[in-house]
Chains A and B, each alone.
Chain A
Amino acid sequence: MASANAWVGQSIKRKEDRRLLVGDGQYLPDIVLPRMVVMGLVRSIYAHAKITAIDTTQATALPGVRTALTGADVKHLGPVLSDMSTPNLPGETKRPLFWPLSIDEVKYVGDPLAVVVARDKYTLEDALELVDVEYDPLDIVLDPERALQPDAPRLYPDWGDNVLYHQHIPAGDPDAAFAQADLVVKERFRCHRTGGQPMETRGCLAMYNPGEGLTLWLTTQRPHIKRHLLAEYLNLPHSQMRVIMPKDMGGAFGTKAPLYREELLACHLAMKLRRPVKWVENRQESLMNVGQGRDQIHELELAVKKDGTILGLRDRILADCGDARTAIYVGFAMPFLGAMYLINGYDIPNVDIDLTCVVTNKACLTPSRAFGSFAGRFALDRAVELAARALEMDPVEIRLKNAIKTFPHVSAVGVHVDSGDFPGSFAKTCAALDYDNFRKEQSEAWQNGRYLGVGFSMGVEISGVPSEVLVPMERQPGFGVATVQFDAHGKVQVAEGDSPHGQGHETTIAQVVAGELGLSPEDIYVTYGDTHSGPFAAGTIGSRGASYTLSAAVLAARALRPKMANIAAHLLHIEAGEDDFVFRDGHAILTRDESQRVPIARIAEVALLSPTELPPGMEAGLEHTSHFEAETAGMHSCNVHAAQVEVFPDTGEYKIVRYVAVDDAGQPINPMVVRGQIHGGVAMGIGNACMEEFIYDENGQQLTTTLLDYHIPSSLDLPHIETIEHNVPSPHTPLGSKGKGEGTPGMVPAAVANALEDALQPLGVKITELPLTPERIWKLIQAAKEKE
């Protein structure tokens, strides 16, 4: 897999950063159109209630208010979910019936029930206050276990229960495995509600005229998929439906992948009012509606041999999906994938996983970086730790014993893992930690009343999702696509179908294309986001960038080389083909006589400005579109993380003294960009695992609707994150590159929890729940002391 690409592996500065750092970023709220009006939502103040009356007369009477609609006014648009916008997963699925605004009944605090349009945001908020809603409160259900009880209040009475989705995933012979086990570890793990909260909230701007149709500027990770679904919902031909993701987006972390009710309303209103309609979510709405992820209970059992071999696993997973009224993921796609990825980097041949997803009177789960697997990763890597402790085995040894050893590997539940090297990753982790010495230091510390600990986690992270998986799951393709197109000045435009928002595509794609074509990254400009000008693709999700999209750009660039060589040969008046040239330093250079060279800009000029100089019969233009599909059902990155902590048992406070991340990026294109992704992922993981929690009170009121209550860490709260590369190139991508954006947060909770428990060994504390707040740790210490 050795790469001849000169720009691969170079940590050049990101092309994106200049405009972002000097305030020249172009975000959705920066877009202003003539005659534009703004939209806002009236949201339920009850977790579950009948709407007995809505009166919008006072609101519409306010000068500057254009219209106010309630659920009854949008019912004719039809239910939000169609076959196309509902995951198509094995198992038993129920489909919530709902409209862009709730009709007659609200199911969580924040549920949109009326929409108001006004000339400006101040008038809008005045008007929202004037919409008079009368409620008749209903019984609520907030706890997923309570939701399963036959007498629990129901969110969807016609369902007969609160079960949204159920799936049983058996493999091998788990009963036999448990019968043969020397040790059975059985524990209940709980992961709280937490996830992503992008700096930029959601928003959109819809514009309509009957000639061109509808244009929607939208904060989205997947413009093409949104366009597809919006066209279907609004009954518009694709020629009349255009989605544009603005040049810049202040993060997404999964939250901008679903199709939301507010987006449908903005489109409808733009068509109805014949005015551009803008909606920008405020922070309270964002914290009430999106980024709520994780939220699972695992009752997990491991069947283990005396030597540490894990023979089998059983897990009863219960996921609290909230009201499940978000299109594309519907609250259960995440727990589903989490269940499929539960065994992860472990080679466990016999499994019995039972997943139940329930609805409750809370906001719908939305995707959050590490998509569905955060909770399961915590549960399994904790359980393995408990097994090691019971067997008095080293935590590294038990992991090495059970880690996937040979690649390619197909897990018991059918996940294909192409490449990786766990022993190598563990070796680097242990060396970085000076692990053997640490154990000595630890026992000395214990004797002196100090509590030091180390914890490990290991993981297999998605590196893009292939069509083979995505088509049956979400009715969407997994391929990566890019159009590489020379302009008449010899610069290259790369149009991709994804919509990067922090992943650095403008830099990394420029690097690889520059390398393939003998140019410099400055010569390459990457465009994205507009469904009317970029190729169709599934969007920026699941670590597809460096695996799929970038590979497509490489293939498209390579596909141009024969034509470039033919033009060069023609200009040099020689007989030569692609193999006779190298592309370097902005030139096509004849290998057998390097003095024979043609500037690449000249080749582009001939192809575009001066086609009369082309070889006879050759078509003008210099561009190619490639669709990359890996020849495997799954590519992955194999990683090992470790946290070293000191715990202060008086308060349960702790310090993450070191955080070591040994990550596999296959072949990093820009190692600095990779490190940035890992830093961000670890930061998010620490925030989610240790500090952040969406808290609802007993009435279903969310108590964490400002950033003063929902505690996202800043750099002051985070340890120095030590990143170490341990790359195993993927055999399935042209450069060996792997995706790195999605999975990292999933590595964190077990690493930190294992470290805390390790430090507190003398006190005999067992950690089974997140978040790892100092108060929780202190309470566990108190409980352990009382037991003594």
Chain B
Amino acid sequence: MYPKAIENYFAPTDVAEVLTLLQQHGEQAKLLAGGQSLMPLMKLRLAEPQTIIDLNQVAALDDIREENGRLHIGALARHADVAAHPLILHSYPLLAAAARNIGDPQIRNRGTIAGSLVHADPSADYPPAVMALDGQLVVARADGGTRTVWLDDFLAGPLMSDIGEDELVTRIEIPVPPAHSGGAYAKRSQVAGDFAIISVAAHIALDPSGVCQQARIVVGGVMPKPGRAEQAASLLQGKTLDATLLAQAGEAAAEEVETEDDVRASAAYRRQLIRVTVPEVVRQAGVRAGE
């Protein structure tokens, strides 16, 4: 439980410096954000970086604001800050709920949104939530370029994401939701603070008469990464969200999202939890959309 020796430790203060260091140390280096995933891996010696580039001194990387119709969340925004941010609580309650569900207070005080998304645990809370909000990552490259990537594409598999050795996630961007829309998130775990057995994020847009215009449902806690319940979502399109419809959506989601057995639960039980949780979460999202 003690990491391998680290040769170099850097604590750059701006993004340009981070990128230069990445260029110099590339494959030997690891970025350190909240350390809540990296440090356990290092202690178990599953990660043995020679160089640590500590992001915690980098200025202005934890901003949360709306700009040009998009919500910007700085890469270094801590789970606790996201969970308590007035703008997020008001307009993106689904994201606040996901952040609130992560681990325990210590972990939420340190852990960051980019760290969680890069770490790409299939049972983590942020990925389904950010997917349901159609979130993107803005990635800066050492050569000076930037790219924007959908989270769906960024998540490659269990603990695998599309991040290059010379790249830094600088922020997460989420389109400002339209009027009459709302989201919800729920997680089922064995004990408080544990990773999800399954989790469900849903975002619903209604027309003024309450008919569902658009629905996005994402299920976490499944392999190799959170899955979109497309059929379940399309069932809702153009309809009023009544109990029968919600149950059908749950049924559809349980059928279409692939589940597996692991120490936490069997595939069959996961399916059942999806069947039960999807209607609960979609109902809550619908209520919020109608408010």
Partner-B contacts on A (CB < 8 A): 121-122, 124-126, 129, 282-284, 650-651, 653, 691, 695, 703-704, 708-709, 711-714, 716-717, 773, 775, 778-779
Contacts and interface: CB of A to CB of B under 8 A. Distances in A.
A653 B194 CA distance: 16
Minimum-distance CB pairs A-B, first 8: A716-B192, A282-B1, A775-B269, A711-B191, A121-B2, A650-B276, A125-B2, A717-B191
Given A125-B45, A703-B263, A711 B273 contact: no
A717 B273 CA distance: 19
A129 B263 contact: no
Contact of A708 (B195, B265, B266): B195
B267 to A, nearest CB: 11
B262 to A, nearest CB: 9
Nearest to B43: A282
A717 B272 CA distance: 22
Contacts of A709: 263
B40 to A, nearest CB: 8
A783 B191 CA distance: 25
A450 to B, nearest CB: 16
Contact of A775 (B3, B44, B265, B276): B265
Given A704-B263, A778-B272, A122 B2 contact: yes
Contacts of A695: 263
A763 to B, nearest CB: 16
Nearest to B189: A711
Nearest to A129: B45
Given A122-B5, A650-B272, A717 B263 contact: no
17 contacts: A122-B3, A122-B5, A125-B1, A125-B45, A129-B45, A282-B1, A283-B1, A651-B272, A691-B190, A695-B263, A703-B263, A704-B263, A709-B263, A714-B104, A714-B193, A716-B191, A773-B190
B4 interface: yes
Contacts of A716: 191-193
A775 B276 CA distance: 13
Contacts of B2: 121-122, 124-125
Nearest to A773: B190
Interface string B81-105: 0000000000000000000000010
Contact of A713 (B5, B104, B191, B269): B191
A711 B269 contact: no
A778 B192 contact: no
A775 B192 contact: no
Contacts of A651: 188, 272-273, 276
Contacts of B4: 122, 126
Contacts of A704: 263
Contacts of A650: 272, 276
B238 to A, nearest CB: 28
B4 to A, nearest CB: 7
Contacts, number: 53
B201 to A, nearest CB: 18
B280 to A, nearest CB: 10
Contact of B191 (A129, A284, A714): A714
Given A714-B191, A716-B192, 18 more contacts: A122-B3, A122-B5, A125-B2, A126-B5, A283-B1, A284-B1, A650-B272, A651-B188, A653-B188, A704-B263, A709-B263, A711-B191, A713-B191, A713-B192, A714-B193, A716-B191, A778-B272, A779-B269
Looking at B190, B194, B266, the one whose CB has the most chain A CB atoms below 10 A away is B190
Nearest to A703: B263
Contacts of B193: 714, 716
Contacts of B273: 651
Contacts of B265: 775
Interface of B: 1-5, 44-45, 104, 188, 190-195, 263, 265-266, 269, 272-273, 276
Contacts of B44: 284
Contacts of B1: 125, 282-284
B272 A708 contact: no
A121 B3 CA distance: 10
A778 B188 CA distance: 14
A708 B194 contact: yes
B3 to A, nearest CB: 8
A711 B87 CA distance: 35
B192 A717 contact: yes
Nearest to A779: B269
B7 to A, nearest CB: 13
A557 to B, nearest CB: 45
Nearest to A693: B263
A714 B192 CA distance: 7
Contacts of A283: 1
Contacts of A122: 2-5
Contacts of A778: 269, 272
Nearest to B275: A650
A773 B190 CA distance: 8
Given A121-B2, A129-B45, A651-B272, A775 B266 contact: yes
A190 to B, nearest CB: 18
Contacts of A717: 191-192
A400 B76 CA distance: 62
A638 B266 CA distance: 40
A558 to B, nearest CB: 48
A691 B190 CA distance: 7
Contacts of A712: 191
A714 B5 CA distance: 34
Contacts of A773: 190
A470 B3 CA distance: 45
Contacts of B3: 122
A691 B191 contact: yes
Contacts of A282: 1
Nearest to A776: B269
Contacts of A779: 269
Nearest to A651: B276
Nearest to A687: B191
A650 B5 CA distance: 50
Nearest to A125: B2
A46 to B, nearest CB: 20
A81 to B, nearest CB: 30
Contacts of B5: 122, 126
A122 B4 CA distance: 7
A631 B241 CA distance: 73
Nearest to B5: A122
Contacts of B272: 650-651, 778
A704 B262 CA distance: 12
Contacts of B266: 775
B119 to A, nearest CB: 14
Looking at A283, A703, A708, the one whose CB has the most chain B CB atoms below 10 A away is A708
A708 B263 CA distance: 11
A330 B76 CA distance: 52
A740 to B, nearest CB: 26
A121 B4 CA distance: 10
Contacts of A708: 194-195
A704 B1 CA distance: 16
A513 B232 CA distance: 70
Given A129-B45, A284-B1, A711 B190 contact: yes
A282 B193 CA distance: 22
A713 B189 CA distance: 12
Nearest to A713: B191
A609 B3 CA distance: 57
Contacts of B263: 695, 703-704, 709
Contacts of A126: 4-5
A63 to B, nearest CB: 12
Contacts of A129: 45
B102 to A, nearest CB: 13
